[in-house]
Amino acid sequence: MRIESLSVKNFKGFEERSFEFPHSFTLVVGENASGKTSILEATTVALQNMFTKLQGVNALSDSEFGISEEQVQIRKEVYGNSIRFEPQHPSWVDATFSHLGEKLQSYSSFNTTSKNEFDVYFSYNHSDKKIVHAIAEDLRNKGVSVWLDDWEILPGRPWKQAIKGAIKTTRSVAVCIGERSILGWQGEELQLFIDEFSSRNIPIIPILLPSASAKEIDLPLFLRNFAWVDMRKEGYTTDILRRIHLGIVGELDLREKLPLADYQTQNGEVIPLADIFERISQFPRIPMPVIAFYNSNRLPPNQKTTLSVNRSKTDLSRRYGYQDCLKGKLAIPDIFSWLRDEQFSGLQENTESLLFQTVTYAMCSCIPGATSIEYSIRQYDLVVEFDNGDIKPYGSLSDGQRIMLSLVADIAYRAAWMNPHLEDKVLQETDGVILIDELDLHLHPKWQRRVVDDLKRTFPKIQFIVTSHSPFIIQSLEPGELIVLDDEPQIEYANRGVEEIARFIQGVDQPYTSQRYVDQKAASKRYFSLLREGRSEDDPELLEAKRKLDELTAHYPDNPASDAFLEIQRLAAQGNNHNE
């Protein structure tokens, strides 16, 4: 599995932007507040739709699901002498993924309705209940707030009052017309819709269901003025769902400009990302993809780790590998518990687990000098042995060692948990999408130069999308693996020196010297230029230039003033030569 493309609108700092991810590794760079982390957050929102139909496992809490209010773009608006900051709508994330040779779509939008408001009200005859519920469920998976009587009216409640109240707060109405046309209470609903349309001009969407007569249907006069959605010939298709969704959302956005084939499988079918596990379950030997997001605060405090115990039946399922995978944190208790259990299981069976060997080997290969890792009963901790003979518990490692060891362990543990049948090939054969914010976090420059190759080598089928400010990481990339948010790179970055990368890709002026040196030299040149103009000692500009120069050079012995003076003299000499 991999992500192919991502489009966003009114998401954090992006008004509208699209990105392509053609490679297995992508590094996103840019200045602070340019949107690096926003790309990861948007991708996380897209990945959330994988888990809408997965029961018993929480990739993240319900309150974190979808686009949050804080992620909606805010724009400054001026009203006379007043300034306001207004949220921009619609706000959405749209992504395409590929899996097993087919394409999958994920779409999420910010729900602007309050808990007492709904995007659409469904009016239907209960003889058509099955197909109407299917449409409503698919719309809800797209982030639409749906009012359906079976979902919203509790037993023992007065249903007529509930329906009248819902119609007054809904943003649109879908009138589903089936075999029995519009009869009974549905006819009374229609009169309420007419009243609401007159007062609020809400969209009313007539939907002709497959059960409706194939002959010319006698729609009520009021409904004949609205564009229909006709399912009588082809039934309920993905294109029908798209049209209903557009009628509710009410905008022709970026997705509508793309050919529908871009979201189709080889069979011409559009597959929602939420259906991926249903498809995988048909082939139990197919590896489950690893999905995880790690934020810049991913490393927990350095304290004794409480292991996970007494797992439930759900915890023993392969799908438990997705538990908390999008929360941004490293699952240290689960990692330690799994390593401990695999190690003790090998001792009981008098043979070391292949999964344990594979995962610990991967952990060692990404920690310079590490030769072995095991769980110590005496220490109640992981212990790492190094090639110089040192043995250190996990809690005594440096932040850089702990964050890298834990990162590799978290990915490897999830792969091993979900795909145990792959045994010692589990890391070579498991695919997936991993998002990492600030990959260089706590890593020495020597380590930064090798971390990309370490991840590629250890997890060859996994797609990584990461952010960083490190020129050493940029230096280690292959062509095409870099997204620069600020501007297009001025040079090809692969194998370039860090000074060139800092200057031409990251926009650092004069990276060969310190900023302090640059400032001192500029102040010196300004001061000596004024002197050469013959300014008097009490000239305000000269006094200010001297004050600034003295302030910048007072505490540093490596004064560049002489360098600047010599440069001024040289330029003056050149000028005199030209005049002669």
pLDDT in tens, the chain (580 residues): 999 999 999 999 999 999 999 999 999 998 878 899 999 999 999 999 888 777 777 887 656 778 888 999 999 888 888 898 888 988 899 999 998 778 888 888 876 655 557 889 998 888 889 999 999 998 887 778 898 888 888 777 777 777 777 777 788 889 888 877 665 555 666 666 666 666 667 788 889 998 886 655 666 666 777 788 989 888 999 889 988 988 887 643 433 333 333 333 344 455 677 777 766 766 667 889 999 999 999 988 765 555 555 454 445 788 889 999 999 999 998 899 999 999 988 888 888 889 999 999 999 999 999 999 999 888 888 999 999 999 999 999 999 999 999 999 999 999 999 999 999 999 999 999 999 999 999 998 889 889 999 999 999 999 999 999 888 888 888 988 999 887 665 455 555 556 666 555 655 665 555 566 677 778 778 877 887 777 887 888 888 888 887 777 666 555 565 556 545 654 554 454 455 5
* Helix locations, 125-158, DSSP H: 129-141, 149-152
| Position 352 in a domain | no
Q: How many domains does the chain have?
A: 2
d(CA 138, CA 243): 13
The region that residue 108 occupies, defined by phi over 0 for left and psi between -120 and 50 for alpha, beta otherwise, is beta
Q: Could you give the 3-state DSSP secondary structure of residue 545?
A: helix
Residue 19: name the closest of 2, 1, 35, 4 by CA. Answer: 4
| Residue 90: cis peptide before it, omega within 30 degrees of 0 | yes
Q: What is the DSSP string of 233-258?
A: TT-S-HHHHHHHHHHHH----GGGGS
Name the residue with tokens 């005496």. Answer: 378
Q: What is the pTM (predicted TM-score) of this model?
A: 0.68
Determine, yes or no, domain membership for 237: yes
Single-letter residue type at 424: D
Last residue of a domain, one of 258, 282, 304: 258
C-alpha dihedral over 404, 407, 409, 415, to 10 degrees? -150
CB 172 within 8 A of CB 247: yes
The reply to whether 41 falls in a domain is: no
Nearest to 276 by CA among 97, 461, 19: 97
What is the spatial order of strands in the sheet that 271-272 belongs to? Answer: 14-20, 2-11, 92-99, 102-109, 271-272
DSSP state of 288: P
Cβ atoms of residues 336 and 307 within 8 Å? yes
Determine, yes or no, domain membership for 348: no
The range of the structural domain enclosing residue 535 comes to 515-579
Domain-located, residue 317? no
The CATH number that applies at residue 219 is 3.40.50.10140
- Residue 563 CB contacts under 8 Å (≥ 6 apart), including other chains: 521, 524
How many of the other CB atoms lie within 10 Å of CB of 218?
10
Asked if residue 37 is part of any domain, the answer here is no
**Paired tokens of 225:** 């003025």
Burial track 276-295 (b if 16+ CB lie within 10 A, e otherwise): bbeebeeeeeebbbbbbbbb
Count of beta carbons in the 10 Å neighbourhood of residue 114 = 9
Task: Return the biggest CA–CA distance within the chain.
Answer: 105
Residue 4 CB partners (closer than 8 Å, separation 6+): 20, 21, 22, 95, 96, 97, 98, 103
Listed residues 258, 284, 315: the one ending a domain:
258
Is beta strand 146-147 parallel, antiparallel or unpaired with respect to 120-123? parallel
Residue 344 counted as domain residue: no
d(CA 128, CA 212): 10
- Cβ-count burial 395-425 (b if 16+ within 10 Å, e if not): eebeebbbbbbbbbbbbbbbbbbbbeebeee
Radius of gyration of the chain (CA): 31
List Cα–Cα distances, 62 to 52, 234, 324, in angstroms: 10, 36, 11
Distance CA(24)–CA(481), nearest Å, equals 8
- For residues 463 and 24, is the Cβ–Cβ distance under 8 A? yes
Residue 52 lies in a domain: no
Name 165's Cβ contacts closer than 8 Å, sequence gap at least 6.
Answer: none
Single out the residue of 300, 301, 429, 408 nearest to residue 359, CA to CA. Answer: 408
- Assess contact for 545 and 527: CB atoms under 8 A: yes
- Which residues touch 570 (CB under 8 Å, ≥6 apart)? none
Beta-ladder partners of 376:
381
Question: Where among 227, 258, 289 does a domain terminate?
Answer: 258
